[in-house]
Amino acid sequence: MDVTTDRSGQPSPEQPPVSPPPQRGKRRALLWILLLLIAGAIFYFASQYHSHAQTTAGGSQQSTASVTITVATAKKGNIGVYLDAIGTVTPVYTSSITPQANGIVTAVNYTEGQMVQKGDPLIEIDPRPYQAQLAQAQGTLEHDTNVLAQARMDLERFRAAWARNAIQKQTLDDQEKLVLQLQGTVKFDVGAVAFAEVQLG
């Protein structure tokens, strides 16, 4: 039996051997578990890559088998670019056209989308009814003008007779009022002629 001495020189009993710490065994177990997980992950990803490569190869074989190749001569030209969309066309200027006279349209002097200027004739209406109205107005004016001229001549005669005391004053007054009435009728006829000319235009 071996006896050891301490620093004082006295003998000390023998110490038992030291056992390894328990943490060392836990580290080894964790290391093995980690290695197993890494190996399983490598095996999983390798199998996924292998199946994906087979699928891609099979699809490429099928797609290449159905492609038809044709030969064509290259030509120089413009490439048409088309854009289908919903839009709104807005005119530069808008105007509401109201006819001054009603009638049958005989000609249309514009096309849809055409640029027009102010004063351009756009539509022609049959002028024959308005020509007839103008002729009637002119005839009425001519008739009433001659009636007025006759009334004025009679008025001069009546004034001369009144100066000689050959007629009554009432007759002279009536003739003067008749001349005034006929003057108003002639003015009305002049306006009717002007209106018919505007309608004809």
pLDDT attached to residue 152: 92
Distance CA 64, CA 58 (A): 10
User: What is the rounded distance in angstroms from the CA atom of residue 144 to the CA atom of residue 58?
Assistant: 109
Centroid of chain to Cα 10: 116
pLDDT tens profile 77-94: 888 777 788 888 777 777
Tokens of 141: 């004016």
The residue extents of the domains of the chain are 126-200
Tokens 């292998």 belong to residue = 50
Q: Quote the CA–CA distance of 200 and 125 in Å, as a whole number.
A: 9
CA 143 to CA 138: how far, in whole Å? 9
CATH architecture of 126-200: Orthogonal Bundle (1.10)
Burial 117-141 (b: 16+ CB within 10 A, else e): eeeeeeeebeeeebeebbeebeebb
SS3 43: helix
CA atoms within 13 A on the CB side of 52: 6
Q: Is the pLDDT of residue 14 over 70?
A: no
Write out pLDDT tens, residues 28-38.
888 889 899 99
Which tokens belong to 48? Answer: 């996924």
Give the model's pLDDT for residue 1. 45
**Rounded average pLDDT over 33-52:** 84
